[in-house]
Amino acid sequence: MAGFQSVEEFTAVVGDFLDVVRQDPRSVLAGSGFVLVFRLTDLDVEVVLDATVTPKAGSMFDVRIGKDVERAKATVTYEMTSDTLDRVCAGGLAPIIALASGDVRIKGGDHVGVMRLMRAAIADGVPLYRRCRGV
């Protein structure tokens, strides 16, 4: 895998993945009040996971992907390339290694609280992401 060649390819794969994830009633994000922003520097696009909304069947949190997407104030913003996000989601790069190496940069917010909540969810999502990615 080598990241994504276009915003359209990224949106198709990651959008499908997040659509399944946000429907899961066991979502750790649901009701957390977190707004997570993933800014992909190579594609100039943001992924926003907005858990300030009230969870309901089929939509435990909102997902928005695009350039200059409307969003509430971010709990934390992660900056990286699409390749880094791809490798983390596919299980090929541990989040802590991505942070320590500088492949992921944190822009303000409650990163420790987010990681405490998301640690298991990231690992649990790897098989689903790999299916959506076709690997």
Q: Tell me how far apart the alpha carbons of residues 114 and 104 are, in angstroms, rounded to a whole number.
A: 15
Average of pLDDT values for 60-85? 89
Q: What is the pTM of this model?
A: 0.90
Three-class SS state of 75: coil
Which pLDDT belongs to residue 2? 62
Rounded Cα distance between 27 and 22, Å, is 7
User: Which is the CATH superfamily of the domain at 7-130?
Assistant: SCP2 sterol-binding domain (3.30.1050.10)
**How do residues 19-60 score in pLDDT, each as one tens digit?**
999 999 988 889 989 899 999 999 999 999 999 999 999 899
* pLDDT interval class at 124 (50, 70, 90): confident
Report domain extents, the chain: 7-130
78 in Cβ contact with 35 (< 8 Å): no
65 contacts 47 by C-beta, under 8 angstroms = yes
Decide: 10 and 40 in contact? Cβ < 8 Å.
Answer: yes
β-sheet with 76-80: strand ranges across: 62-66, 45-50, 35-40, 76-80, 105-109
For residues 105 and 49, what is the distance between their CA atoms, to the nearest angstrom?
Answer: 17
Strand partners, 49: 36, 63
